[in-house]
Amino acid sequence: MGKEDEIAGLASFMRTSKAVNDIFESISKQFANIEKALASLNIPDTIQKSLDKLSPALRDALLELGEHGWYVGADMAIPGILQLADGLKQGNPNAEIALEKYFENRIDEIEADVIGRFPLRAKIIASAFRAHRQQEYDLSIPVLLAQTDGICFDVAKGLLFRRKAGRPRTADYVDQLSGTALTNALLSPLTKNLPISATENERPPSFSHLNRHAVMHGESLNYGTKTNSLKAISLLNYVAYMLT
């Protein structure tokens, strides 16, 4: 694949029409306050029904991203999320490349945002991001995963990587929230068992995804890649933003 083809492929995933973005941009930037945003926009019933119809597709897209170890950023437009998820599902490498570039280009702002939300964790989070910048991914990834679980416990009093009744413990917190169908879709990765939290019995011999248990318990010896570190950053960013 030539350079021009690669650029064109990336653009096809990240490009969305202006008309669609005008509807969804404020929503995708304000996940945590979505009901308030919808109310202030005074959206007609016909558009609200369209949003409700969109929710299952968005939920499926977020779970597809999660199956590949990726979690959405706060400023991702919904049509772009759907396109990226479809690309991953179809095995198109441009989708993975686009996600890597997206998070790599936002390292500084993600670090600042997470520290701003959880200042007591600032020293540890800063160390993890510094290790990532220095390409010490064996060090950045365990710390990022540990801080993700810590943030879940701080806010939701449950650990993303622990189970209760067969679901992540964060699911109890999500169940208590009274949100729209769209909000529930956005929170769905916190309620489902995804590869990042797969147990030993759920990981087949061919399993190659980033997995918290395999990393933290020393089972995996080849997890330390830039891609996996960016995936861990995407998860930390998603949890910090969505839960607060």
pLDDT single digits (tens) 106-143: 999 999 999 999 999 999 999 999 999 999 999 999 99
Instruction: Identify the pLDDT of residue 162.
Output: 79
Instruction: Identify the pLDDT of residue 11.
Output: 54
Torsion angle (degrees, nearest 10) of CA 182, 184, 188, 192: -150
Instruction: Identify the pLDDT of residue 27.
Output: 40
Cα distance between residue 215 and residue 154, in whole Å: 22
Cα distance between residue 79 and residue 89, in whole Å: 15
Residue 4 has pLDDT above 60, yes or no: no
Q: Which residue has the tokens 């009274």?
A: 178
Q: What is the DSSP string of 31-79?
A: GGGHHHHHHHHT--HHHHHHHHHHHHHHHHHHHHHHHTT----TT--HH
pLDDT in tens, 138-193: 999 999 999 999 998 888 887 777 778 888 878 888 888 757 788 888 889 988 99
pTM as predicted: 0.79
59's tokens: 């939920």
pLDDT in tens, 7-31: 455 555 555 434 334 434 444 444 4
Taking the domains of the chain in order of start, what are their residue ranges?
Answer: 3-243
Q: What is the DSSP letter of 85?
A: H
Residue 221 has pLDDT above 70, yes or no: yes
Q: Which of 214, 227, 18 is nearest to 140 (CA)?
A: 227
Overall average pLDDT of the 20-47 stretch: 49
